[in-house]
Copies of this chain bind each other. A is one copy, B any other.
Amino acid sequence: MPRWKPDARERFVTAALHLFTEQGYDETTVAEIADRAGLTKSTFFRHFSDKREVLAAGQETLSRLFAEGIAAAPAEASPLSAVDAGLTHAAGSMTPFNRELGPRLEAVIATSSELQERAVLKRVGMAAAIADALRRRGVEATMADTAAELGVLAFKAGFEAWTAEDNELSLAQLTSAALHRYYSAVSQLG
């Protein structure tokens, strides 16, 4: 098992996921999460606005990373290559912590329709962030929208493969392979 030195933020996330799994999301209070993490409620509220934020925080960071990676892609890169650069940039920021917690996070989200809705909205927010970043590179809107949908599907598939399997491939390799798989699939639809 990989080792890392958890900061306060990661300790809150770990504690929250344990409690959500043990006793349910609705039944868990911020006070209990702080207790379990060995930190105070006021420290909790310096990191998160409420307990739902504990689960959503990572997804907001992802949208920013996608946009940064797309903006930094070479000017001559195709829209697909620019999306690939965005996914690769985001993948590079994911840690062993994300890899280990990913499946547990999914399991907790599956128990609550409120959390499922939140997760869906974040995914749509990611697609919008990718499409915006592509349009800022001068990619035409119709192409930007379709590329963004492929990017979100690919990141989701790559992340699932990374967390579900004891995989030798890096997350960046898995998201890139998924992106090309989706692109190949979509080209054969007609």
Contact = CB atoms under 8 A, between A and B. Distances in A.
A132 interface: no
A142 B189 contact: no
A159 to B, nearest CB: 15
Interface string A72-98: 000000111101000000000000000
Given A120-B121, A120-B124, A124-B124, A143 B189 contact: yes
A81 B120 CA distance: 27
Interface of A is mostly: helix
A182 B145 contact: yes
Interface residues of A, number: 28
B181 A142 contact: yes
A34 interface: no
Given A120-B121, A121-B121, A149 B149 contact: yes
B189 A147 contact: yes
Interface in A120-166: 120-121, 123-124, 140, 142-143, 145-147, 149-150, 153
Contact of A185 (B123, B142, B182): B142
Interface string A158-184: 000000000000000000000001110
Given A120-B120, A121-B121, A124-B124, A150 B182 contact: no
Given A143-B188, A146-B186, 9 more contacts: A117-B121, A120-B121, A140-B185, A146-B153, A146-B185, A149-B149, A150-B189, A183-B189, A187-B187
